[in-house]
Amino acid sequence: MIQYYLATKCFPNMAADENSPPAVIPSGHGNVYVQPVLKGIMTISLIPTLACISNTIDMINPRLNLHHVRTAFIAWHLAKIVHFSPAQCRKTVLAALLHDIGGLNEQSRLEPLNYIDDEQNNHALIGGELLSLIPLFKPLKEIVRYHHTRWENGLGRYIDGEHVPEESHLLYFADRVDVLLTQYRNENISSLREVLTETICNGANVLYKEEFIHAFEKLAARDYFWSAMQSSRYEDYIKEIPRIHNDNISLHNLRDIADLLAFIVDQFSRHPPWYSLTVGRIAGFLARAMGLDPTQSLKVEIGGLLHNIGCLDHSPTDERRAIADDEADKTWRALHPIEGIRDIAGWCVQQHRLYLGAASDMQISPEACIIAASHRLARMLEVTDDEGKFRMQLKATEPPDEISQAVHRLAAQHSKQLIQLWRSTIQERQGFVKRLEQLDVAFQRENVNPSE
């Protein structure tokens, strides 16, 4: 029998001390993950949030491990040494934390790991396009788009008449430094500092702006830099990047970021490119229809968008463990370090167990029930979005618990709106996928016939 953490059908918000520990600490072996619902001001910091996200994105392959946070760490130090303005420093760090987000498959992420890259990969172009979807990240579009542009004795200032931001050149340099140093991550990197510095300096003017080379020489003269680069702990890089101005983001900003991340998640899963977006939007719709307040409904929507984030974590799994344990652990690992959204992380974990029928004798929050139900409804709509058939399917399905049953009844009542929401969401995602395909075709054509 499922016990509800908030055992009420009208779901009032409960105040809780932000420092309260989860009601049950995850052990990774089937324990319950429950987090009190927080009320009041939520503080979500942009840099730590992006750092957690980029860390998860890098978990798709061990060779990528920590690439984004290490690049951001290097870029931050270089930006300070060359006296970038605070606004430039901010943009450089944010872009560094997201720069390879446009690599939508493993190959596309691994190809740029050769120190001398051949610039045949479209991930920078796609990354810029993805970031332009979000108002918060729009200023990063050009930086990311051109982050593989060589300096070429100053010719790299422009590409096809378009100005390449200074931040792109610095990001390219920081990215290449990390790619080179990562090749020696299992050796005593400090003992190789001279030869590595020389390799990097050899790129002066052709690959990199000379000013950045001088900045790197200053950085490389510090013992501290080499010991930091030896670390395999994500926290060691992030703690060095200070909280920059305009660091706090709203829940709406977070929803936009989750929307983008949902797309990335779906690219690396067996689901269609609209899957996580539909689960998130259905969850938000149902939360509002059930009377949750706007803030809580937005959080449920974010939970739906991110519910499958654990699929980016390709770290080895113990085959003796249940799938539900494994998925729950990976989801928790990805989301719980993000300050201010531990409750959402808890719901996402619970929904996995609920969806996989592994939630008996667990405490489950209503929010998790809504997300799990939205997950089921999205799967039903994938089979048919005919209203009559959808309603029949709802009738024929016996949800596992009382709240899920209430959610299904509500879904039946609002089936017309749900189907409309489903169709418009798919259309939106399909339109975006088509846009990316067109960009890819143009990119390939340009690279086969660069003179055209």
Q: Which residue has the tokens 């968008």?
A: 305
Cβ nearer to Fe ion, comparing 175 with 367: 175
Residue 10: Cβ-neighbour burial (10 angstroms; 0-12, 13-18, 19+): exposed
Cβ nearer to Fe ion, comparing 112 with 165: 112
The dihedral of CA 79, 81, 86, 88: what is its sign? negative
Cβ nearer to Fe ion, comparing 164 with 328: 164
For residue 112, state whether it binds Fe ion (rule: CB under 5 A).
yes
Residues linked to residue 349 through DSSP beta bridges, in sequence order: none
User: What is the C-alpha to C-alpha distance for residues 441 and 436, in angstroms, rounded to an integer?
Assistant: 9
CB of 445 to Fe ion, least distance (A): 21
CB of 209 to Fe ion, least distance (A): 18
Residue among 91, 146, 159, 148 nearest 115 (CA): 148
Q: CB under 5 A: which stretch of 74-82, 97-105, 249-257, 349-357 binds Fe ion? A: 97-105
CB of 111 to Fe ion, least distance (A): 9
Q: Residue 53: how many CB atoms within 10 A of its CB?
A: 26
For residue 129, state whether it binds Fe ion (rule: CB under 5 A).
no
Cβ nearer to Fe ion, comparing 175 with 259: 175
Cβ nearer to Fe ion, comparing 176 with 375: 176
Question: C-alpha angle 49/42/329, rounded to 5°?
Answer: 50
The four Cα atoms 195, 196, 197, 201 give a dihedral, to 10 degrees, of 100
For residue 142, state whether it binds Fe ion (rule: CB under 5 A).
no
Q: Which residue has the tokens 């609209």?
A: 274
CB of 101 to Fe ion, least distance (A): 9
CB of 178 to Fe ion, least distance (A): 7
User: What is the C-alpha to C-alpha distance for residues 96 and 90, in angstroms, rounded to an integer?
Assistant: 10
List binders of Fe ion among 395-434 (CB under 5 A): none
User: What is the C-alpha to C-alpha distance for residues 252 and 135, in angstroms, rounded to an integer?
Assistant: 11
CB of 306 to Fe ion, least distance (A): 23
CB of 124 to Fe ion, least distance (A): 6
Cβ nearer to Fe ion, comparing 175 with 343: 175
For residue 100, state whether it binds Fe ion (rule: CB under 5 A).
yes
Cβ nearer to Fe ion, comparing 100 with 343: 100
Backbone angles phi, psi at 85, to 5 degrees: -70, 160
How many residues touch Fe ion (CB under 5 A)? 3
User: What is the C-alpha to C-alpha distance for residues 73 and 91, in angstroms, rounded to an integer?
Assistant: 13
Q: What string marks each residue from 153 to 192 as x (binds Fe ion by CB under 5 A) or -?
A: ----------------------x-----------------
Residues that bind Fe ion (CB under 5 A): 100, 112, 175
